[in-house]
């Protein structure tokens, strides 16, 4: 089993949804990213999506857009992201997913990027803007490097698209809770249960993780009753953004701890 597989198996045995956190590498610095990752593990996180900052993050809302802008202003490069991943791998047992738009990886070179991610200790890769139809031209290098490839499915995905995304995914299938960009919402959409049901029909035994819009314990609790994993990004990034210097790790750990507890299932 891959490290991602192990995290979902353990969460299932402990009667909870796996908690998948997101950070933008380099926001506000590489050192701080490593410290925040350690705080997330201490709070109970299972998986970290380590975001590659990009100048045109079309799938992201304002919180992660600002994080990417701060990281780029600090001159964070893909090599810096790999250095952060290497340090996080040495300091934690988190499963690590390289989370990126395809453009930075293509500019770096897909083979070089795949090998760099694997040697840095990443376990998987999620390319937000690569649909299943374009996967043959992009993902083989990551598969050859031993990385799990994770694809997105959404409420607007038809059955064929869901099956294609699931067939290409390893580790888990990422189910987008609603159309539109990332960002915490007050509530989850009423048709989420139906979206997850359709994703399960497509995915079979592959774990399902739900993200986009989850930012409160109540939202995490509802998602955990439906899915095998709960993904939170914008709320954690916002907590770090709002905290004073020296308190960011504590603020992120506090929120993550409440979200992790909400992922436990009763009965």
Give catalytic residue positions: 49, 60
Nearest to 29 by CA among 53, 62, 5, 13: 53
Work out whether the CA dihedral 120, 126, 130, 133 comes out positive or negative: positive
CA distance 195 to 185: 18
Contact 191, 237 (CB under 8 A): no
Under DSSP, is residue 47 helix (H, G, I), strand (E, B) or coil?
strand
Contacts 24+ apart (CB under 8 A), 73-76: 74/26, 74/27, 74/28, 74/29, 76/25, 76/26, 76/27, 76/30
Residue 263 carries which DSSP code?
T
Contact 227, 17 (CB under 8 A): yes
Under DSSP, is residue 211 helix (H, G, I), strand (E, B) or coil?
strand
């Amino acid at each position: 089993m891959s490290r991602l597989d192990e995290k979902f198996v353990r969460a299932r045995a402990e009667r909870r949804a796996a908690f998948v956190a997101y950070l933008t590498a380099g926001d506000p610095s590489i050192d701080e990213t490593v410290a925040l990752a350690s705080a997330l593990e201490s709070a109970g996180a299972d998986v970290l999506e380590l975001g590659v900052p990009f100048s045109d993050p079309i799938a992201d809302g304002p919180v992660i857009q600002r994080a990417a802008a701060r990281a780029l202003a600090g001159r964070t490069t893909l090599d810096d992201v790999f250095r952060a991943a290497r340090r996080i791998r040495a300091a934690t047992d988190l499963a690590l997913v390289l989370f990126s738009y395809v453009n930075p990886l293509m500019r770096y070179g897909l083979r070089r990027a795949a090998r760099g991610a694997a040697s840095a200790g990443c376990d998987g890769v999620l390319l937000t803007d690569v649909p299943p139809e374009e996967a043959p031209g992009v993902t083989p290098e990551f598969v050859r490097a031993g990385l799990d490839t994770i694809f997105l499915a959404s409420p607007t995905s038809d059955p064929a698209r869901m099956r294609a995304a699931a067939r290409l995914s390893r580790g888990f299938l990422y189910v987008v809770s609603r159309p539109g960009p990332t960002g915490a919402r007050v509530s989850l959409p009423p048709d989420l249960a139906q979206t997850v049901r359709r994703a399960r029909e497509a995915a079979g035994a592959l774990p399902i993780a739900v993200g986009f819009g989850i930012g409160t314990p109540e939202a995490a609790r509802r998602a955990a009753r439906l899915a095998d994993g709960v993904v939170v990004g914008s709320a954690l990034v916002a907590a770090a953004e709002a905290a004073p210097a020296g308190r960011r790790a504590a603020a992120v750990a506090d929120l993550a701890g409440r979200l992790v507890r909400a992922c436990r299932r009763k009965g």
